[in-house]
Amino acid sequence: MKYKVAILGATGMVGQKFIQMLEGHPWFQVSALIASERRVGKIYSDEVDWIVSKDIPKNVTEMEMLPMDPKRIDADIVFSALPSDVARDIEARFASEGFVVASNASAFRMEDDVPLVIPEVNPDHLGLIDVQRKKRGWDGFIVTNPNCTTIVLVITLKPLLDIGLKEVNMASMQALSGAGYPGVPSLAITDNIIPFIRGEEDKVETEPLKLLGYFDGKRIRFADISVSASCHRVPVIDGHTEAVFAKFSGKVEVDEIADAFRSLKPVDGLPTSPENVIVVRDEPDRPQPRLDRNEGNGMSVVVGRIRKDGEDRVKYIAMGHNTVRGAAGASILNAELMVKEKLI
């Protein structure tokens, strides 16, 4: 048996990545593509500027796009690739009608009763689902994944908590695909770096505190660390790179940090999980987006250049595929976790 899945916002870049990653999935089968009102009733292949790979998967080519009406959709799970400004109303409508919504949008991420989840980091936060249903009176529920930059950062921070992580500073070099399609005008980004991405730094400074916090049975108690971020757009197609500076409560060594990274384990039995959640590179000039973004089919985070920065500080480079691990793949992995936990 395969679970039926629908995709909200199926024509955009993240929606396309959902379709690409779900092709041939052992647990999930795309049953509905949900689009804006002007595209309802039209054939998917006639309406989409397909940009994520060479060919549109045959399983969706001739699908008729459906309206954002829960009563018209036959699915067990709804993956949301909607822009955040419209996601809040639409995702809530689907959840209230009994759908499981796995959202990539930011609309509900920081709500007290909505799980913000990375399966290898905080699977226990799914306990918020019961809180959410009782509070909102919904038959279904919403589970979110973090911002693409946050995911890369937090996956590397999780194993550092046990060795006394206290303070994080991060500067990002973010790929063009993170801006969606058509994204950044070519004359703005060619031969250039744009040192501002609206709303990004706030997300990166707040979401980790929830993700790395603990669930007390009623709410998430935020992690007692500080995060400061500066975010920048660079002329790279895919793959966010981050320079991370971490301070600890006591003395730390490079080998200790590298061993901690390698210790983070995948969740057993999830089809989209990579074999290695964090891959540590020893080469002095790695990671690089062009060389490393597809590690673990795009689901691994790659780190390198781990260096001391004082007795209680280290610095390192982290890189991850922003539309795979940082977006569609993150939502799919969350849905797989929910199936494993018998929440679907």
CB neighbours of 117 closer than 8 A, spacing ≥ 6?
Answer: 123, 125, 126, 143, 144, 145, 211, 334, 337
Q: How far is CA 80 from CA 8, 71, 84, 149, 224, in A?
A: 5, 17, 10, 18, 31
Amino acid identity at 309: D
Does the active-site annotation cover 231?
Answer: no
Among 124, 127, 168, 163, which Cα is nearest to 149's? 168
> Of 125, 231, 240, 321, which one is the catalytic site residue?
240
Instruction: Please give the Cα distance from 298 to 318 (Å, whole number).
Output: 14
Catalytic-labelled residue, pool 125, 148, 231, 321: 148
- The set of residues, in sequence order, having a beta carbon less than 8 Å from that of 113 and lying 6+ positions away, is 128, 131, 132, 135, 136, 219
Q: Show the DSSP H helices in the chain as ranges.
A: 13-22, 44-47, 84-96, 128-136, 148-157, 186-189, 200-211, 254-263, 289-292, 329-340
Residue 50 Ramachandran class (φ > 0 left, ψ -120 to 50 alpha, else beta): beta
Would you name the residues annotated as active-site residues?
148, 240
